[in-house]
Amino acid sequence: MTVTSGPPVRGARNPGSQGALRHLNQERLFEFLLANGPSTQAELARGTGLSTATVSNIVRDMAAKGVVDTTPVNSSGRRALLVRLTDTGDIAAGVDFGRRHVRIVLATLGYEALAEESVELPLGYDVGDALSTASDLIDRMLEANGFERQSVLAVGVGVPGPIDRRTGTVLQGAILPEWVGVNLRDLEDAFHFPVMVDNDANLGALGEVTWGVNRGVRNLMFVKIGSGIGAGLILNGELYYGYLGITGELGHTPVAEHGLICRCGNRGCLETVASTTVMLESLSRGSEVPVAIADMVERGLARDPATLRVIGDAGTAIGKAIANIANVINPEIVLIGGPLAGLGDALLDPVQHGILQNAIPAIAETTTLRMSSLGDRAESLGAAALVIKSSLATHD
């Protein structure tokens, strides 16, 4: 979900309204300028497929907002208007909270990452302490890179749990129970900036379609495999939030009819058979020292039979759950993110097997499956993108 005390946010708009269409067209121009640099209005029309009249109107609106500058030039012997993005000096901050880390990125409105840092948090950390740590880290990063606090437009925050978009409150079911009940006001009080908050898997998906090699993909499913298993959905170029904002709870898809009781109260959910916690518990049986994720990745890459069996069983179950969603939304690309991304094909192969076994053949054969292109940066970059995109929102 997206909740903000600042300007209107795309996800909250009526996708069928003229305002939403105008905003989408504005983003097309913005992204073309990012990729191609200063361009004439004629070049923008050719590059985006929009009419010259539409381009002219959007450029006028963007110039009035200070997003672009325009300069009269001669092009092929004719008078033209050159359009370039304005360097406003504004900064977006993206914050990703995980089970044992907080990762922060500072970025320009031109999607340039200026600084990135992460710090480790203790297992079962106090949320108040974690928020203070993140706030202090942002201040240190700003000072170290010569930026004023006034240059920060807002802070995008990724939280590992479902969020009620009506109130901006983390709901029961978060993989980190410490976060349950935390709301938008708590976050703004901690950071002393306007805040936009979203589920971490949603931000992973947003990061991939705005920063990674999958930039511009309009139908994508980002699956984050960790202590919990969540999915971010990009449908027709937009993050999909549903009614309350509780979407992509892939970990609570039933996959084992007579399986264990899940923390959500249901039986046989995907998390009970395929989370990293379950995999590590299986590999740690009979071992004097608990197996860590880094150990599992190392053993998986070394083709250790027991490790590959655990990964294979989990991957096949994940693929089955993905197939059930793919049969409904027909994504172009499915990306796997989270701490197991380093396993590569050792994880992708069984996931692909699960998809092939359970998806409609036409969907299974045409859906591309691969690892996240951004690795552990996806969520923090997505949080920054949330701020950047909202800065372009029009006021209808």
CATH at 350: 3.30.420.40
Which of 65-79, 84-98, 182-196, 250-264 bottoms out in mean pLDDT, i.e. has the lowest? Answer: 65-79
Confidence of residue 396 (pLDDT cuts 50, 70, 90): very low
Q: Say yes or no: 174 and 315 in one domain.
A: no
Q: In this model, does residue 114 exceed pLDDT 80?
A: yes
Q: Say yes or no: 102 and 200 in one domain.
A: yes
Share of the chain above pLDDT 70, in %: 93
**Contacts with 353 (C-beta within 8 Å, 6 or more apart), sequence order:** 315, 316, 319
Q: In this model, does residue 342 exceed pLDDT 90?
A: yes
Q: In this model, does residue 319 exceed pLDDT 90?
A: yes
Longest Cα–Cα distance of the chain, Å, equals 79
Rounded CA separation 62/40 (Å)? 14
Q: Which residues sit opposite 367 in a β-bridge?
A: none
**In this structure, are strands 101-108 and 91-97 parallel, antiparallel, or unpaired?**
antiparallel
Share of the chain above pLDDT 90, in %: 62
Confidence of residue 76 (pLDDT cuts 50, 70, 90): low
Rounded CA separation 205/223 (Å)? 8
Rounded CA separation 326/360 (Å)? 9
Q: In this model, does residue 51 exceed pLDDT 90?
A: yes
Residue that is last in its domain, among 33, 56, 85: 85
Residue 40 lies in a domain: yes
Tell me the mean pLDDT in the region 25-50. 84
| Structural domain range at position 178 | 91-206+378-390
Rounded CA separation 163/168 (Å)? 6
Q: Say yes or no: 242 and 359 in one domain.
A: yes
Condensed to tens digits (0 to 9), the pLDDT of residues 212-229 reads 788 778 899 999 999 899
Please name the helix (run of DSSP H) or strand (run of DSSP E) that holds residue 116, with its range, or none. Answer: strand 113-120
Tell me the mean pLDDT in the region 313-326. 97
Q: Say yes or no: 76 and 113 in one domain.
A: no
Q: In this model, does residue 347 exceed pLDDT 90?
A: yes
The tally of domains found in the chain comes to 3
Q: In this model, does residue 143 exceed pLDDT 60?
A: yes
More confident position, 7 or 152? 152
Mean pLDDT across the chain, nearest whole number?
89
Residue that is last in its domain, among 44, 64, 85: 85
Using alpha carbons, select from 61, 41, 83 the residue that is nearest to residue 394: 61
Q: So what's the pLDDT on residue 79? A: 86
Residue 239 lies in a domain: yes
Q: Say yes or no: 221 and 326 in one domain.
A: yes
Q: Say yes or no: 152 and 189 in one domain.
A: yes
Q: In this model, does residue 7 exceed pLDDT 80?
A: no
Tell me the mean pLDDT in the region 125-142. 96
Residue 395 lies in a domain: no
Q: So what's the pLDDT on residue 111? A: 80
Q: Say yes or no: 316 and 200 in one domain.
A: no
Residue 396 lies in a domain: no
Q: Say yes or no: 369 and 383 in one domain.
A: no
Instruction: Output phi, psi for 25, to 5 deg.
Output: -65, -35
Total residue length of the chain: 396
3-state secondary structure of 313: helix
Q: In this model, does residue 64 exceed pLDDT 60?
A: yes
Confidence of residue 395 (pLDDT cuts 50, 70, 90): very low
Q: Say yes or no: 144 and 114 in one domain.
A: yes
Q: Say yes or no: 221 and 369 in one domain.
A: yes
Q: So what's the pLDDT on residue 112? A: 83
CATH at 23: 1.10.10.10
Confidence of residue 32 (pLDDT cuts 50, 70, 90): confident
Q: In this model, does residue 265 exceed pLDDT 50?
A: yes
Q: So what's the pLDDT on residue 206? A: 94
Rounded CA separation 386/153 (Å)? 11
Tell me the mean pLDDT in the region 120-128. 91
Q: Say yes or no: 23 and 137 in one domain.
A: no
Q: Say yes or no: 247 and 342 in one domain.
A: yes
Q: So what's the pLDDT on residue 166? A: 87
